[in-house]
Amino acid sequence: MPDDAIVPSESSGPVSVFDMLKVGVGPSSSHTLGPWRAAEHFVDRLRSSGRLGQLAAIRVELYGSLAKTGRGHGTGVALMMGLCGHDPETCDTAEVQRIGPEAVESGRLLIGGEQSVPFVRDRDLAFDSTEVLVGHPNGMRFVATFDDGSTADQVSYSVGGGFVSHEGEDVGDDSVDETKRLPCPIESAAELLAWCDDGRSIADVVRANERVWRTDAEIDVDLIRIRNVMRDCAFRGVSTTGTLPGGLDVARRAHDLHRALMGPIEIDDSATWLDNLRHADLGFGDTVRFVSCLALAVNEENAAFGRVVTAPTNGAAGVIPAVLFHHLAQLDPAEWERTDIDAECVRFLLVAGEIGAIFKKRATISAAMGGCQAEIGVSSAMAAAALTECLGGTVAQSLMAAEIAMEHHLGMTCDPIGGLVQVPCIERNAMGAIKAISATHLALAGEPELARVTLDDVIDTMWATAQDMNQKYKETAEGGLATRISVSVVEC
């Protein structure tokens, strides 16, 4: 790493692939999932201090980027869900649509599922776009008032990808366990390459580290669960028509694209849909359309508050499923029969997760810190490395693929129209997926030892670019397309 003030923005230390691939609810990991988790954390603190039963009122103040694009990103509804004790991984996603109107009708919120307090959305969720808290552009303060008039508060930061940190609590964030000692600690692509010197693949090395948290069987089961959430999400996306919420009137397109390619969907389960991919007879042009269709499908679901896998963020959730399922669809029926499909998916996700973790440790996965290069760029790099390993590339070629994918996202700004995760976000997932596949094939045909730029070089350049980037291009909706096109956002 060059010494000219390139300092990683987020905590280093152990990061599991399950921190990089989390089940959540759309549309944003930093503005929906992070605040949701922070609200759950605050309510847990109230409960464990024994004061939840004395709660008389609750208020949340949102600052910086959270205030500027929170309305379009569903931050308010995510906070209400978290305050009421719903978990983003297991909740009924229909509740996301109900909770706001119900709170307005009753004028109350059932905190932690047990303590009812008065709640007026415009009063008790305060968006202050004039102030930025010192810890991170995505800052929020929770204030609880008790029956006796005393108060308690918590300042939290949503630092990207659904990770959250809390002021006054230890450095780092909720998900990262600093106490774990990994057999193969990895802070850079060079270190990952070195751990593979003994002939192990990237997936082998990552699995060795993951055994600190889980058994082999648990790693496989939990990654297949992640794959299944991605599969269910893509299937819902290609099965659904209509217009996305938020006021921009964006029509869903994945359904019609899928129908044109594969015919009408005559099944109602995603497992059969995935299995049927073996019969997809895709030529080159179809492949591009198919990958784009899957990426749109996932991100249309994300924009509609559906359940997605944060990979490494919600805004970029479509890239990895699109590339993974494209990879499976490219297997001919005989190859499909020979291949352990679940094992192939696990391998893909292990590699993707580790590449994302290196970006998180060495730079950022937060658009509020680094613009869209930190979301779509990182997901494209993750997918490129994973696809390269699955296609038989060397470790060096996989890292080269990740480098190529990120190199061509450097400087990409975040400028969501209306603060909604729709335009340009949904199409950007298709572009990120296509770039990942191109990067893979360039790397497979390339010689990594001749490459002039390493993955670590490009990660450090991304971080330097993030620091140079004007704040208006960092998830504020104050620059780019966001100021060119006006829209009246309808808050959910």
CA–CA separation, 458 vs 436, rounded Å? 15
CA–CA separation, 134 vs 62, rounded Å? 13
- Measured from the CB atom, the residue of 31 and 326 that comes closer to ligand SF4 is 31
Shortest distance in whole angstroms from residue 402 CB to ligand SF4: 18
- Measured from the CB atom, the residue of 398 and 476 that comes closer to ligand SF4 is 476
- Measured from the CB atom, the residue of 373 and 440 that comes closer to ligand SF4 is 373
Cα three-residue angle 68-33-16, rounded to 5 degrees: 125
> Which of left, alpha, beta for 172 (phi over 0: left; psi -120 to 50: alpha)?
left
Which residue's CB atom is positioned nearest to ligand SF4? Answer: 315
CA distances, 279 to each of 179, 276, 282, 292, 328 (Å): 47, 6, 9, 19, 11
- Measured from the CB atom, the residue of 166 and 474 that comes closer to ligand SF4 is 474
- Measured from the CB atom, the residue of 233 and 421 that comes closer to ligand SF4 is 421
Shortest distance in whole angstroms from residue 413 CB to ligand SF4: 7
Shortest distance in whole angstroms from residue 354 CB to ligand SF4: 22
- Measured from the CB atom, the residue of 355 and 414 that comes closer to ligand SF4 is 414
Shortest distance in whole angstroms from residue 33 CB to ligand SF4: 13
How many other CB atoms sit within 10 Å of the CB of residue 204? 16
Shortest distance in whole angstroms from residue 307 CB to ligand SF4: 18
CA–CA separation, 122 vs 89, rounded Å? 27
Residues 413, 480 contacting (CB under 8 angstroms)? yes
CA–CA separation, 250 vs 248, rounded Å? 6
Shortest distance in whole angstroms from residue 315 CB to ligand SF4: 3
Determine if the peptide bond prior to 312 is cis (ω within 30°). Answer: yes
Contact residues for ligand SF4 (CB under 6 A)? Answer: 315-316, 367, 372, 375-376, 414-416, 421, 424-425, 428, 475
CA within 13 Å, CB half, 364: 29
CA distances, 317 to each of 5, 37, 292, 306, 338 (Å): 31, 18, 13, 11, 29
Shortest distance in whole angstroms from residue 414 CB to ligand SF4: 3
- Measured from the CB atom, the residue of 366 and 461 that comes closer to ligand SF4 is 366
